[in-house]
A = this chain, B = another copy of it.
């Protein structure tokens, strides 16, 4: 088979981690007999520098016509003083919206080999962490009406609108239930139904939909409690489904407790098979270009791409197993180094993974 992949190296360490991932994908293609065609496009800070806009129309068009999008990272201090619509992050929000990628899948996994990196007490992480956060990605307060009102009794004011429709909740909930079926059959829906009307709609739609999934256990948790429970007892979670805003917070918190942000991939999916895949870490401008970045999160993101967009389960597993072997052989990049391990750079880490394939 032949697959077209739009790559967005972006900013900071983005180009380096994408580079290693392309090498890995090419090798997988060779082994399993697939042709991968990569087309590099501009987004983020580099796009601002070259075109004046974080997300050129051409980028959207090419991504839309590809089988999948692979993104490194966008943003950096250089563009931090630009305002609103001019910022590199707009590229992310714009791509999610333009491609209709409403389901953000973020596994938070504690790798046994990296157990010590978790900031949690060892007796809490002993039994491992394996949570999948399913975050709604094209609705809620990220995309609702916003603006300013000049005159009020306490001066100018600004507002944003959190809004969810039945259809939006249904489709993200369905994604969560389907994923739970392939895991431990438990969904925790996180909301703030004791305060928000949108949460009350959210909850009732999910309760209704859950009747289609009698084999999956459903429970509900308020966001404030969820932020605590993740730390107190991460084992209680299997799949967490939540809104765009709460998902932004909880997925980052869940990643942090694993202690291995440089390891964690993500997928953003829509109705069809087109998806966008990216590491959850940022552009790390402080180490950009120094061959220090950990390419594993991006390489694992490409495994998610093979699985979700191309339905190549065996190939995805091959990548994941290769990564595990390299970790078991005690190779580490700087972000996950610990006593007794061998420090390697970005390129060497890529090469080691490639070699295990």
Contact = CB atoms under 8 A, between A and B. Distances in A.
Given A146-B197, A195-B142, A249-B224, A166 B160 contact: no
A89 interface: yes
Nearest to A116: B121
A197 B158 contact: yes
A288 to B, nearest CB: 19
A163 interface: yes
Given A119-B120, A232-B256, A194 B227 contact: no
A144 interface: yes
Contacts of A163: 157-160
A352 interface: no
Given A223-B248, A227-B252, 8 more contacts: A146-B198, A155-B166, A157-B168, A158-B198, A158-B202, A159-B161, A224-B249, A227-B249
Given A163-B158, A166-B154, A231 B249 contact: no
A118 B120 CA distance: 9
Determine the interface band of chain A, counting residues with CB < 8 A from chain B.
35 or more
Contacts of A198: 146, 158-160
A265 to B, nearest CB: 17
Contacts of A148: 197, 201
A307 to B, nearest CB: 26
A197 B223 CA distance: 22
A148 to B, nearest CB: 7
A299 to B, nearest CB: 22
A93 interface: yes
Contact of A167 (B154, B168, B251): B154
Interface in A192-226: 192, 194-198, 200-202, 223-225
Of the listed residues A118, A168, A224, A225, the one surrounded by the most CB atoms of chain B closer than 10 A to its CB is: A224
11 contacts: A89-B195, A144-B159, A153-B167, A154-B166, A158-B163, A159-B198, A160-B196, A227-B249, A228-B253, A228-B255, A249-B249
A142 to B, nearest CB: 6
Given A231-B256, A249-B227, A253-B231, A158 B154 contact: no
